[in-house]
Amino acid sequence: MERIAYGMVGGGKGAFIGDVHRKAIRIDDLAVLKAGCFSRDAAKSNAFGAELGVEPDRLYTDYQQMAKAEAKRTDGIKFVVCVTPNVSHYEVCKAFLSEGIHVVCDKPLTWTVAQSEELERLSKEKNLLFCVTYAYTGYPAVKQMRKMVQDGKLGAIRFVNAEYPQDWLANSVDENSPIAPWRMDPKVAGISNCLGDIGSHIENLVATITGLKIKRVCARLDSMVEGRTLDDNASVLVEYDGGAKGVYWSSQIAFGYDNALRIRIFGEKGGLEWLQEDPDHFTFTPCDGPKQRFSRGRDQFEACAQQYSRIPAGHPEGLFEAFANVYKPFILALGKHLANQKLEASDLDFPGVAMGLEGVRFINRCVQSSKQGAVWVTL
């Protein structure tokens, strides 16, 4: 397959997540960066685009201009990557969908449920692929756990306990920081900081592995550091369709924790546990046997998970590989789509716009619950 041309909005010089996306795409070399609007400052955007090797006539002053111009080119980009702050996700994605260009967007997808529903509708109407980069779904261990749940190894799920503690916002933040300030600004980040930023990963990871659908939530969002408007700590009780229960905790004020996303799933026949900071391993405990530790690269996973294992055992895979494992199926599916080949369910092994919508619905209902005094709210 020839490399597919893509463009990027956001992700300028010094931006952490934009660099992660570009490097992840290069791992499999299935797509090539051909256009961009990397900053609202045209001079900075053009200078950085030149560093990346983008031709001058494909460096744009705004994303609307980029969407229209690239759609008219015979060699125009086939998909765009949106890595801007939350406030502009909706408008950026809508602009490119409207011009018939496929979309990859960082999470959370949008601010409101209505915005996400519109993006889902647009992508379906125009028959366009849409990926939301919940990167943790790309780990082979996560895909193996999903297959074990699907195969009934746990039986009916009874309870889920998931947490995501960090400590990088445990104190007041330097306003000169290139990352933190906008996350605490509701005009840019939206209605939630902690829950929207990392709590949304919990919701998506649980849904990916278990297939459970949330019925209702009871949430308390706290702003622990003085002077903050948005939450830096969130506790959520969850009830799922079918009767299973769950507890989610996300925090950015938890001293001693770097990026400790952990998920525990308990069913009638056994339990699973996985920690993102040790992504190559997970444990399975059957009800009638000893605890088993699975190791990516050493233990043979099911084919649907093994295909994402990239290096031998003992050499840990990490965030770049996980992002690459989100991009790889998306770009391969896009290649088939562009060649007018039928896409099978197995081709769509990446978080789609529907998952992005569910994440936004989860965030909004949790905020609603918290504002109403931590009451139960139906999704």
* Residue 110 confidence (pLDDT): 95
Residue 275: pLDDT band (50, 70, 90) is very high
| Count of CA atoms in the C-beta half-sphere (13 A) of 355 | 28
Residue 302: pLDDT band (50, 70, 90) is very high
Residue 136 has pLDDT above 60, yes or no: yes
Residue 177 has pLDDT above 70, yes or no: no
Residue 36 has pLDDT above 80, yes or no: yes
- Domains of the chain plus CATH, in order, are 4-128 (3.40.50.720), 138-313+359-378 (3.30.360.10)
Residue by residue, DSSP assigns 41-106 as SHHHHHHHHHHTT--GGGB-SSHHHHHHHHHH-TT--SEEEEES-GGGHHHHHHHHHHTT-EEEEP
Higher pLDDT, residue 188 or 335: 335
* Residue 342 confidence (pLDDT): 97
Residue 274: pLDDT band (50, 70, 90) is very high
* Residue 1 confidence (pLDDT): 79
Task: State the average pLDDT over residues 9-23.
Answer: 94
* Residue 183 confidence (pLDDT): 78
Question: How is the beta sheet containing 4-10 ordered, strand by strand?
Answer: 31-37, 4-10, 79-83, 102-105, 130-132
- Of 183, 158, 165, 92, nearest to 130 (Cα)? 92
CA-based radius of gyration for the chain: 21
pTM of the complete model: 0.94
Q: CB neighbours of 32 closer than 8 A, spacing ≥ 6?
A: 3, 4, 5, 6
Task: State the average pLDDT over residues 224-239.
Answer: 94
| CA separation for the pair 233, 252 (Å, rounded) | 6
* Residue 179 confidence (pLDDT): 61
Residue 93 has pLDDT above 70, yes or no: yes
Residue 255 has pLDDT above 80, yes or no: yes
* Residue 75 confidence (pLDDT): 97
Residue 175 has pLDDT above 60, yes or no: no
What CA–CA distances, in Å, run from 81 to 158, 315, 351?
38, 29, 14
* Residue 174 confidence (pLDDT): 63
Residue 326 has pLDDT above 70, yes or no: yes
* Residue 171 confidence (pLDDT): 86
Residue 180 has pLDDT above 70, yes or no: no
In the chain, what percentage of residues exceed pLDDT 90?
Answer: 90
Handedness of CA 161, 164, 169, 175 (dihedral sign): negative
